[in-house]
Structures are given as C-alpha cells and as structure tokens.
Structure 1
Amino acid sequence: MKKIIALVMSLTLMTSLVACGGGNSNTKNSNENAATPEVTEEADPTESTILGNANADKTLVVWTFTDEVKGMISDYYLKDNPDLPYNIEVVVVPTENYQTKLDPVLASGKNAPDVFTMEAAFVKKYIDSPFTMDLSKVGLEAKAGDTLPYVLDVAKDKDGVLKGLSWQGTPGAFFYRRSIAKEYLGVSEPDEVQALMNDFDGFIDVARTLDEKSGGKVHAISGTGDLTQVFYAAREHAWVENDTLVIDDKIKELFETAKILKDENLTTDAEQWSEAWFAGMSGDDVFGYLLPTWGLHYVLKTNAENATSGTSTSGDWGMVQGPSPYFWGGTWVGLREGTEMQEAAAQLVEYLTLNDDFLTAWAKNTGDFLSDQVVVDKIKGDFSEEFLAGQNHYDYFAEMAPKIDASKLQGSDYDIQALLGEQLIAYSNGEKDFDTAMEDFKAEVQNAFPTINVE
C-alpha cells in the first residue's frame, strides 16, 4: 500500500503549487508533530507473484502500480474461482518506473500484460492509445450501466469508446475540525458548515472569520496548493479544444482566490505533503483539508496523533462537500489489445469492477468508496465513521459522486497543470501580475507541446 501513497505524493507534486486510491502507510516522521508517508518504497524492485494454479500451462499476466490489486486477486478472486485452468502472474512495478516499463512492452507485445492498471494521472494516455481494448468487444460495456458516469467518462477515448473500468469512485470533500467550527463559527454539524461554504466566496468569508475571531491563530487551510484540484474540476472547458490551449475563467478565479488567501495570511503557507502540512492534522491551527475518499483513511487518520503530546484529533472531524464538487485519483483496469488471454482477462476485469458480491465485501472490509451506484445505495446506510464523530461519510460521498464531471480530463492535463502551478506560485508571491503569468504559462505550454496552438 505504501506504493499508492508514494504515487499520490509524486502526482500531487506535479499538480499542486510546489511543482505545479490511497495506501495504508502509517510510518512516523522524525518531525515532532507530523507523520508523513515514507517514499523510499518507490525504490523497491519490481515484484512478480504467481497466484493460483502454479502448474497450469497458461498464465494471465496482470501489471499494476498498486499492490492492492494483488490482494484483490489472492484474497477474493481466487477464492471465488478456485479451479481456474490457468495461473495468474501479478507484476507490481514501482510507481516511478511504471510507465517507463509498461510503454515498451505494450509497443512490442513481448512479455506484455494481459490486464493492466491506470491511474487518473496517466489513464488518458493509455485510453487514447491503440494498446487498450474496446470493452464492448468482450461485453463489459453493456454490463457497466450502474457505474458512475464520471468513472466511465474518464475511460472513454476521443471517439467515446470505453476502454477501462474501475471498482472505485474518488469524490473529494472538505474535512474540517468540529471544535474549531463551534468555537469560531458557532456551528459544528456538517449541514451547518456546508451552508457557510457553498462556493468560494463563502469559503473566503469563513477563512476571514476564522482569522479574525481567533486573532490570526486559526487558518482555513494549510496552503493554497490544496485548492487546485477543486478549481480544475470546476472548469467549463478542457485545457485543449480543437488543438488550441484554452484558459478557463476558473483559472483566473483560482489565481485570485490563492492571492487573497496568501495576502491575508489565511493559510499556514505549507506545501502539500510537507511536514508542516501533515502537522496541521494533529494541531489546532488548521481548520480543514480538501481531500478525496482515500484522504480520510490514508492521510488524515494516519496523521491525527501528535507525536509529542500523544493527543489525537480523531473524533473531532466532520466532512462536507465544500465549495465545489471534484474528484482526485482513482485506478482503472483495462485489457491489452491483442491479448491471447482475452476471455480470462475480461472475466477478471468484470469481477474486480462489476461483481456485486465482491464490491460489497471489498467496501465493507476496506471502506473504499465504490463506482457501482446500485451497490453503494444498498450499503451506504451501514457506515458510521468514529474518526468523523460517527458521521456516515459513505452516505455523503454517495451524494457527491454523481455531481462529478470528468468529461474534460485529457492526457496532457497533468503536465499542463504542472506548468500552471509554477506561475501560480509566482503570482501568489507577488512576483508577477496575472497577465505576465499567463503569457509565461502559454510560452511554456507551447515549448512543451509544439502541436498545441497557443493564442
């Protein structure tokens, strides 16, 4: 699971201000007040495991950047399918090497996987390539009618062909401290807090109120980098339309909002994934964090205890939608075009993403939020999260997920957003005005993507 956290951290660094599915790492950092996921796991060598019938003549090969999939296959799929006439080889590739190892074997077809996973950061790269199979060929598209629309949209190529599925949805939320809300805002329950921040104007008002009433002690969020995922999701236009770079109005709003928060000292000015950013989760100076589903289990929970005092903020958190719907991360599974194990590959993908019994068991055992709306509706009433003072977070996520629009996601997004982040830092720090930052951004995009028209 550490590989998942490492991937999240590396991708966030590309899309947040600093370079601009979760894991279960709980490794304590040497900093007195923070626990940060360790990233040395990325250096581990590729792991290959044979599961099932080791003496079988045929092998279904699965490549993944997350060891989560290996557990799904060994602990669920093989137990439900004990007599498969083939074995399954699961290859877990370190996250920083995943694409560089996957690309050449897909291109050559030699030693290539039959099934492979794709993260939100690079899923479109493979969906829009000739290496992923049209899932209608194996009957999976017709069976995916209960899957969240945004999850399907992410895995459709430019022609609308579905080429991947996912077992999970990753809607984002705003996690806040109940005691801070009560003391400085006069409310503490989720519906009351959400009413104060239905948009970013309301969010800024809350930030200012917290600052004023706490005498500058409490900040709305740790850093302006936390805002980016929300604004990117709120755009009306994709980054590239008709081969031309489009700067949506939400980008200007992102810059303006970040500048207000920076100029008025409404954040702790901490970079995402830094020690200071994690420290706020166990302290009393940060009101909340914008995080997706996995952020609850693998970020907040693992950093809620103060290493010095031994106190914990567990039970003092609540969860609301926040100023705008968004999603962050996710893992999709696809079949390689040309696989000779097509039937077996389709059977596995169907089980992992569409099998009601498996999805129900997986959600109840891990807390992972599902992409299957029917299964979610059946089980959402069964959850109560002690960390969130008993709040049914699953029910809230179920309300948020259908609002997500991922139709604008493109393969170049993360690289473009990394370039934008550099300009956002400069603008927020007062080093450039908005027009200069945009002109520099356009120039960098043109240099990185010569085929994109920049006007």
Structure 2
Amino acid sequence: MNNRKLGKWVGGFTSLALLAGLLAACGGNGKEATPSASSPAAGGNASPSASAPADPTQLSGTVKVWDWDEAFQNGMIAEFNKKYPNIKVEVTVVNPNDYLQKLQSGIASGSDVPDVILGESAYRGKLFDLDVLDNLESAPYNFDKSTVLDYVVPYVSNSEGKVIAVDQTLTPAGFAFRRDLAKEYWGTDDPAELESLLSSWDDFIAKGKELKEKSGGKVLMFPGLGDAYIALRGQNFVSYVNGSDVDLTTKLQAPLQKLFEMRDAGILGKNELWTPAWSASMAKGEFMFYPMAPWGAKWHISANDPEGSGRWGLVKAPEGGFTRGGTAIGIYKDSKVKEAAWAFIEFAYLSDEGSAYNFQTFGNMTSSKSFYETQQALIDAPGPYDEFFGGQNLAKYFIEKIVPDMQGESQSKYDSVVDGVFNALYPLWTKDASITADAALEKFKTEFKNKASDATVK
C-alpha cells in the first residue's frame, strides 16, 4: 500500500478498501521515503514514548493501580514482568461505581492515591476536570498521539487539548443480533445482507414493524428506549459544551425525535438498561438487537446467554458507528514512579506485544495503529468470542465496517449529568405515550439545569 493511502487511514479509516490493505501489514508515514522498521509509522515494536529505557531491566519501582478487572491485571502483569522484571505492580480492586468518590477522598486526604488511574466512560469527563492526570505528551512520557487512531484522541484529551490518558480498549459499537430470529423473520442472518436491509433508521423502523407483525408481537427490535438511545445519541459526535455553555438542543433534538418515532411505532420493549429483565431477555429471544462494543461479547452477550453460542451475530448500526463505554488510563500528576507507571501503561495498552496478549486473551482492541499494521495474522485468526458469534470474525468486522465511521468527541464534566438525566426520565417516556419528543427535550433541559446550576443551557 502506498504512503498516501496510509495517510488517509491515519486520518480516520476513510475507506474499506484502504483498511483491507492495512491488514496486509503495510506501512508508511505520509512521505515517499520508506521508514525504518523501528519507527512507529513502520509498525515496528517501537514504543509510542520517546523516553522508554534502552534496557527495561534498569527500570524499577512499585506502581499502584486501581482497577475493577482483576483477571485482566493479573494476566497482563505477568506478561509485563517478563520484560520489566524489576517493576512491581500492585492492584487494588475497586468497584467502578465507587471509583471516583474513593479517588477524590484519597486526593483530599493525600494518603491513598494510585499511580495509574482509570476513568470509566460514566465519569471520564468529571475525572478529566479534576486536573489530577499528568500530560502524557510532556516529559518523562513524550507520548506521540499520532501513533493512535485519530478519532480516539479527543476521548483522551482534556479541555485544553492535552492528552492525559490512553484508551484501555477501542469501543466502536454496532448491534449484536439474534441469528435465529433474523433467519426466521427476515430470511437471512448474513451481516452483509442485514446491512442492506437496515441502511437507514427509516429502514430500521420499517423492518421493526415487519418483525412485530410477523412474530405476532413476540419479538421487537430493542429491549427498550435506553438501547436505542445509546446508538442514536452516540452517532451525534458534535461537541455540545463550550465552557459552561451547554447546547442540549443540538446534541439531543434529532436523537430524541427518532427515538420517539421508534417508541410510537411499537418496536421497542419496556425494559430498562441493566435490570435483571433486560439481562435475561438476551437468552429468551424476545428482542433482535443489543448495542455492542468489542467488550460486550464477553461482558454482555455471552455472560447473559451462556448457552447461546452460534446464535449471535454482529452488524453495524444504520447510518454509522457509535461508541459504547470505554475506559481511559492515566497517571497521577503527583506520582513518584512516573517512568515505571508509563512503562506499564505503554506495554499493556499500546505495545504490539501487550496488545497481542490483550487481544488474544480478552478480545480487547488497542488504539495503537502499529498493531493493525503488523498483526494481520492475529486479526485473521479466530478471536475468543468468534465461535459464539457464529464464526464471524468480530475484530475484522469492527475494524473494517464500524471504525471507518467513527469520529472523536470532546469529553466534559457535564456528560455524566446528561446521562443521569436521561436515565431518570426515559422510564416515564416508556410508560406515558402522550409525552412528545419536543416536550421530552424541554423537560430534559429543565432537569439538567437543576443538576448543573452553573451551566447556561439551550
């Protein structure tokens, strides 16, 4: 593949043919000269950090990490210590729901703060606003943000545009779907054919009505309004926060209009996200689709439908990709072991060897461009949940079909407020069909203002 095409990929995976070429392990840096094998642009094992020690055994220290995924850390630390034998990584398991409060308490007391800090999507904007994470583009890290996918950069940057974290795993999302139901009611379970049937949200609604009619109302498109909202809002990548000015109309008006159109068409269930009924529905075959990022194959679909191997598939959403969850990994600005902490983060989430272990063991997909340029064999090989999804190569589908549509979106402390207001309001929208999309938006603005009195809302 020529260097000009690689430049387009660096700009955001702009063509499917280009991606196919990338998976053929090509490299370049936007110039006619071919880069050396050790350069990040060539896809070698060079670290994104210019300050990585020549001899990893010379780096030592004890790095404290707070995480909720103990299995990941235990496995990754063992791999990390093969290269960095003199760095000890201590993990404290913290519930993600308690993480930010525990962190703030530790910072206030100055007694208990980890070196490596995680920011789950529900509170990432709030964490960034605390100004406790170090700028990874400065010394001693010297992180080069051009080594990761361009769309990821806004998700790991603060309000000043400084990169203060790396992504734990890519979270482009499509829809997990029930192959058995698609085959029964639409005559196909082929993702490519479903893409054609569901190319727009209008098509989606029409097929939803057909599904409801053919199944006698036994099968609907989504478990509830929450699932549809995740996709609709997630596809609107527009930044809606400028300082304390919050433009909810630009962000939410179109998604809510389409959401209420789905509700009124009768193609959505009445389940609320994360409830036992919502989880149980995956095994019951009551709904066709569930929003799913790469991590969802493990944590949602297979976990809630353990006997469902082979009856699931993955298809992109109508009109484009969206993000689903995600966790940022940063370094406490007052850490005493910054070099060791960065060595762990760089190895676990960015290096080719750490990314390969992460991908093969957990199905997690790194944001590092190098991995996708050099690891064609891993991408082509069956992943840990491909068989569960009817033999579909999930990684290739995410990379080739969904990632090209992804865009970056600035993070804000108000994001969690928006999510909280939606979660409080949408059960009422489910129950009361007289509420219109316009009325819902106005109520949304009012409730947001009540929870964020410092904001100017429009």
Scaled to the shorter chain, the TM-score interval is 0.7 to 0.9
Change (3 A) 1:232 1:355: same
1:155 deviates by 1.1
Q: Any idea what the Cα deviations from partners look like across 1:81-100, whole Å, max 9, x if unmatched?
A: 22x1x533222223332211
Please tell me the residue identity of whatever aligns with 1:59.
T
1:68 deviates by 4.3
1:376 corresponds in structure 2 to 372
Equivalent-residue separation in structure 2 for 1:207 and 1:290 (angstroms): 16
Q: Any idea what the Cα deviations from partners look like across 1:261-318, whole Å, max 9, x if unmatched?
A: 333432332222223322332223321211211111221112225xxxxxx4321221
Secondary structure, in 3 states, of the residue corresponding to 1:293?
A: coil
Equivalent-residue separation in structure 1 for 2:108 and 2:268 (angstroms): 46
**Aligned pair 1:61/2:64, yes or no?**
yes
Equivalent-residue separation in structure 1 for 2:279 and 2:338 (angstroms): 44
1:320 deviates by 0.9
Equivalent-residue separation in structure 1 for 2:251 and 2:207 (angstroms): 20
TM-score, reference length from structure 1:
0.79
Count residues with an aligned counterpart. 392
Equivalent-residue separation in structure 2 for 1:120 and 1:100 (angstroms): 15
| The one of 333, 350, 354 aligned to 1:354 | 350
Change (3 A) 1:383 1:144: farther
1:75-154 equivalences under 5 Å are: 75-82=78-85, 84=86, 87-138=88-139, 140=141, 142-154=143-155
Indicate if the aligned counterparts of 1:173 and 1:291 stay in contact, CA closer than 8 A: yes
| The one of 408, 411, 415 aligned to 1:409 | 411
1:395 deviates by 0.1
1:143 deviates by 4.0
Indicate if the aligned counterparts of 2:125 and 2:416 stay in contact, CA closer than 8 A: no
Please tell me the residue identity of whatever aligns with 2:445.
K
Please tell me the residue identity of whatever aligns with 2:412.
Q
Indicate if the aligned counterparts of 2:322 and 2:406 stay in contact, CA closer than 8 A: yes
Q: Any idea what the Cα deviations from partners look like across 1:69-115, whole Å, max 9, x if unmatched?
A: 53144321123322x1x533222223332211211323454332222
Change (3 A) 1:141 1:168: farther
Change (3 A) 1:126 1:133: same
Change (3 A) 1:72 1:143: farther
Indicate if the aligned counterparts of 1:154 and 1:406 stay in contact, CA closer than 8 A: yes
1:26 corresponds in structure 2 to none
1:146 deviates by 3.0
Please tell me the residue identity of whatever aligns with 2:349.
T
Change (3 A) 1:57 1:210: closer
Equivalent-residue separation in structure 2 for 1:145 and 1:122 (angstroms): 25
How high is the sequence identity, in percent, across the aligned residues? 26
| The one of 406, 429, 443 aligned to 2:446 | 443
Equivalent-residue separation in structure 1 for 2:183 and 2:304 (angstroms): 22
1:164 deviates by 0.5
2:218 corresponds in structure 1 to 217
Secondary structure, in 3 states, of the residue corresponding to 1:215?
A: coil
Indicate if the aligned counterparts of 1:148 and 1:401 stay in contact, CA closer than 8 A: no
Equivalent-residue separation in structure 1 for 2:423 and 2:168 (angstroms): 31
- Unmatched tracts of structure 2, length 5 or more: 1-58
Change (3 A) 1:435 1:303: closer
1:452 corresponds in structure 2 to 455
Equivalent-residue separation in structure 2 for 1:96 and 1:265 (angstroms): 33
Please tell me the residue identity of whatever aligns with 2:372.
V
Secondary structure, in 3 states, of the residue corresponding to 1:258?
A: helix
TM-score, reference length from structure 2:
0.79
CA RMSD of aligned residues (A): 2.4
Q: Which moved more, 1:405-414 or 1:207-216?
A: 405-414
Indicate if the aligned counterparts of 1:238 and 1:410 stay in contact, CA closer than 8 A: no
1:317 corresponds in structure 2 to 312
Equivalent-residue separation in structure 1 for 2:61 and 2:143 (angstroms): 28
1:157 deviates by 0.8
1:173 corresponds in structure 2 to 174
2:294 corresponds in structure 1 to 293
Indicate if the aligned counterparts of 2:165 and 2:328 stay in contact, CA closer than 8 A: yes
Q: Which moved more, 1:354-363 or 1:379-388?
A: 379-388
2:396 corresponds in structure 1 to 395
